[in-house]
Structure 1
Amino acid sequence: MKKVSILFSALALMAFTSCNDGKKKEEKQMDQMEKSEKTDIDQKMNQEKKDMNDGTSMTITLEPKSESSASGKVSFTQKDGMVMMKAKISGLTPGTHAIHIHENADCSAPDGKSAGGHWNPTFENHGKWGSSDGYHKGDIGNMEADENGNATISMQTDEWCIGCDDENKNIVGKGIIVHGGADDFTSQPSGAAGARVLCGGVIQ
Structure 2
Amino acid sequence: MTGPDGASMGTVTLTQVPSGVLVSADVHGLSAGGHGFHIHSVGACAPDFTAAGGHFDPHETGHGLFVNDTPHPGDLPNIYAGSDGAARADVFTAAVTLDANADHSLFDADGSAIIIHAKPDSYGEEPGAGDRAACGVIQRA
5+ residue gaps, structure 1 = 1-61
CA distance in 2, matches of 1:128, 1:137: 10
5+ residue gaps, structure 2 = none
Kindly tell me: are residues 70 and 164 of structure 1, through their superposed partners in 2, closer, same or farther at Cα, counting changes over 3 Å? closer
TM-fit CA distance, 1:83: 1.6
Counterpart AA for 2:99 = G
1:64 maps onto 2:3 in alignment: yes
Alignment match, 2:139:
203
Is the contact between residue 80 and residue 87 of structure 2 (CA under 8 Å) also seen in structure 1? Answer: yes
TM-fit CA distance, 1:200: 0.7
Is the contact between residue 70 and residue 197 of structure 1 (CA under 8 Å) also seen in structure 2? Answer: no
1:176 maps onto 2:114 in alignment: yes
Kindly tell me: are residues 132 and 126 of structure 1, through their superposed partners in 2, closer, same or farther at Cα, counting changes over 3 Å? closer
How much identity, in percent, do the aligned residues show? Answer: 31
Alignment match, 1:137:
73
Is the contact between residue 126 and residue 134 of structure 1 (CA under 8 Å) also seen in structure 2? Answer: no
Match of 1:120 among 57, 63, 71: 57
Structure possessing the higher relative contact order (Cα contacts under 8 Å, 6 or more residues apart): 2
Is the contact between residue 32 and residue 84 of structure 2 (CA under 8 Å) also seen in structure 1? Answer: yes
Greater Rg, structure 1 or structure 2? Answer: 1
Match of 1:92 among 23, 27, 30: 30
TM-fit CA distance, 1:171: 1.3
Cα deviation digits, residues 16-44 of structure 1 (max 9, x gap) = xxxxxxxxxxxxxxxxxxxxxxxxxxxxx
TM-fit CA distance, 1:134: 3.5
Cα deviation digits, residues 152-186 of structure 1 (max 9, x gap) = 12122332211331222x11210110000010111
Structure whose residues are more often strand by fraction: 2
Kindly tell me: are residues 83 and 186 of structure 1, through their superposed partners in 2, closer, same or farther at Cα, counting changes over 3 Å? same
Structure whose residues are more often helix by fraction: 1
TM normalised by structure 1 equals 0.62
Kindly tell me: are residues 115 and 142 of structure 1, through their superposed partners in 2, closer, same or farther at Cα, counting changes over 3 Å? same
Is the contact between residue 65 and residue 71 of structure 2 (CA under 8 Å) also seen in structure 1? Answer: yes
DSSP 3-state at the match of 2:59:
coil
CA distance in 2, matches of 1:101, 1:161: 12
Match of 2:16 among 78, 102, 105: 78
